[in-house]
Amino acid sequence: MLDIKQIRNNPTEVQERLSTRGDYDLTEILALDQQQRELETKRTELQTRSNEVGKAVGQKIKGGADPKGEEVAALREEGNQVKKQLADLEPQERELKEKIHDLVIGLPNLPDPETPVGKTEDDNVEVRRWGDELIPQRNDILPHYEIGEKLGWLNFERAARIAQSRFVALLGDGAALERALISFMLDRHIKVGYAEVLPPILINSASLTASGQLPKFAEESFKCDRDDLWLTPTAEVPVTSLYRDEVLQDSELPILHCAYTPCFRREAGSYGRDTRGLIRLHQFNKVELFKFVKPEESEAAHQALVKDAESILEALKLPYRVLQLCTGDIGFSARKCYDLEVWLPSQNKYREISSCSNCGDFQARRGNIRYKVAGKKGTQFLHTLNGSGLAIGRTMAAILENYQQPDGTIAVPEVLQRYMGDRTVLGKSF
């Protein structure tokens, strides 16, 4: 959430930076803020006068004035009128504050100065590539969903019978490989300093609001109608709220978490895209990386987070590239973001497998997550960072294609073999 003081004090700069993200207008917010501040000034003046009148009544009586006399009665009448005015102002001011909050909470984060200005994904900037020499030089590689079905690992038809389209049932070695990937990623991240979290999968509206999914993206999430609970779209949401409404000590920072959860998304805006396979499902598994850091450590922590996500792809020996997203393509809560894209031979292109975002204090403001420096007065908002480390289904798709053998079997990446009973090749399960 943006700071209303920043909008008030630097409206031109904020407007210019927001305009690189889309069509946003601060006019109404600034007008309402002006009204609210005028009411606040009036309220302060009335409170001061109310205190003066109350003090004057006491002084008059103490000086010998008749408590029921005209002079004291006049002061008390003035005091009553002031209190009535104050009572009338309070709901007006509260309503204005609510209107301002509802408008500000709908604004995205301000792009970092280093974020490239652009309108679409075509304006994203490639930063680096890794593993070009690992790209399979064959033209007979089947799409992951075809080889997965042939092997009996992926069953979309039976999953649709259980739920609906865009769900998958993993069977045999497919289920085992999914589990192996989750364990491998968690083990890897824990080894470099992330503390594992297994958060609730059902989350409340306050948690979705804190991370930035509500109110803007309500249509993307699945809600339980009888409760104020939603199915988590990403572990970023519950992990953000682990410390919601808390004041941490600076000695506790940085806090690094990794979390595995199933994730649920309606994919409301993706009709006709990736309708087959594991790329765009309503339910998928993901290992998430999350950091709570001091503002001065934010940029270095972001670069390190990206490298932690990259390390998984490098350990799996999957070719990938890193893109820095432009202002028109970064997520709602992000101020700076890098996407990792893995190579899919069947499509002859890279596909997103991780987004690593620096959200600055945007989520901390929404979730009221602060920290206190020892020996100093006051508190300040910390910075939050998150990234997929990685999306499991898309990693599975990349393995099914990049490790596909000419005989239709799948070689097991070396780092996964110990999770698969030391098997080096996987074949048909059913």
Residue 289: strand pairing partners? 258, 387
Average pLDDT over the chain, rounded to whole? 95
Residue 249: strand pairing partners? 372
pLDDT score of 58 more than 90:
no
Mean pLDDT of 20-30: 96
pLDDT band at residue 360 using 50, 70 and 90 as cut-offs: very high
pLDDT score of 358 more than 70:
yes
Residue type, 408: G
pLDDT score of 291 more than 70:
yes
Mean pLDDT of 282-299: 98
Known catalytic membership, residue 43 = no
| pLDDT of res. 271 | 65
Chain centre to alpha carbon of residue 92: 33
CATH number of 4-104: 1.10.287.40
Mean pLDDT of 119-135: 97
Known catalytic membership, residue 50 = no
Q: Which of 14-23, 66-75, 93-102, 320-329 has the lowest mean pLDDT?
A: 66-75
HEC assignment per residue over 315-373? HHCCCEEEEECCCCCCCCCCCEEEEEEEEECCCCEEEEEEEEEECCCHHHHHHCCEEEC
Q: Are 124 and 401 in contact (CB under 8 A)?
A: no
Residue 224: strand pairing partners? 229
pLDDT band at residue 4 using 50, 70 and 90 as cut-offs: very high
Determine which one of 205, 352, 423, 429 is catalytic: 352
pLDDT score of 423 more than 80:
yes
User: Contacts for 190-195 with beta carbons within 8 Å, 24 or more apart?
Assistant: 190/258, 192/308, 192/311, 193/256, 194/256, 194/257, 194/258, 194/289, 194/308, 195/255, 195/256, 195/257, 195/258
Determine which one of 221, 241, 298, 355 is catalytic: 355
Known catalytic membership, residue 49 = no
Q: Are 398 and 353 in contact (CB under 8 A)?
A: yes
Q: Greatest CA separation found in the chain? A: 108
Which residue has better confidence, 295 or 43?
295
Mean pLDDT of 353-369: 98
User: Residue 324: which of 128, 127, 131, 130 has the closest Cα?
Assistant: 127
Q: Are 249 and 372 in contact (CB under 8 A)?
A: yes
What gap in Å lies between CA 389 and CA 265, rounded to an integer? Answer: 18
What gap in Å lies between CA 22 and CA 362, rounded to an integer? Answer: 18
The string of pLDDT tens digits covering residues 393-421 is 999 999 999 999 999 999 999 999 999 99
Q: Are 398 and 134 in contact (CB under 8 A)?
A: no
Q: What is the DSSP letter of 175?
A: H
Q: Which two tokens stand for residue 174?
A: 């497919």
Known catalytic membership, residue 273 = no
| Total residue length of the chain | 430
Mean pLDDT of 126-150: 97
pLDDT score of 60 more than 90:
no
As annotated, the residues of the chain forming the CATH 3.30.930.10 domain(s) are 121-426
CATH of 121-426 given 2.30.38.10, 3.40.50.800, 3.30.930.10, 1.10.10.10: 3.30.930.10
Q: 171 — alpha (psi -120 to 50), left (phi > 0) or beta?
A: beta
What gap in Å lies between CA 279 and CA 141, rounded to an integer? Answer: 17
| pLDDT of res. 269 | 65
| pLDDT of res. 61 | 79
User: 22 phi and psi, to 5 degrees?
Assistant: 155, -160
Q: Are 413 and 425 in contact (CB under 8 A)?
A: no
Residue 62, SS3 per DSSP: helix
Burial of 12 (0-12, 13-18, 19+ CB in 10 A): exposed
| pLDDT of res. 70 | 78
Mean pLDDT of 361-368: 98
pLDDT score of 126 more than 80:
yes
Q: Which two tokens stand for residue 97?
A: 């504050």
The string of pLDDT tens digits covering residues 164-190 is 999 999 999 999 999 999 999 999 999
Known catalytic membership, residue 355 = yes
Give the predicted TM-score (pTM) of the model: 0.93
As annotated, the residues of the chain forming the CATH 1.10.287.40 domain(s) are 4-104
Determine which one of 76, 244, 280, 423 is catalytic: 280
Mean pLDDT of 325-351: 97
Determine which one of 265, 335, 365, 370 is catalytic: 265
Residue 407, SS3 per DSSP: coil
Q: Which two tokens stand for residue 49?
A: 């006068």
pLDDT score of 262 more than 90:
yes
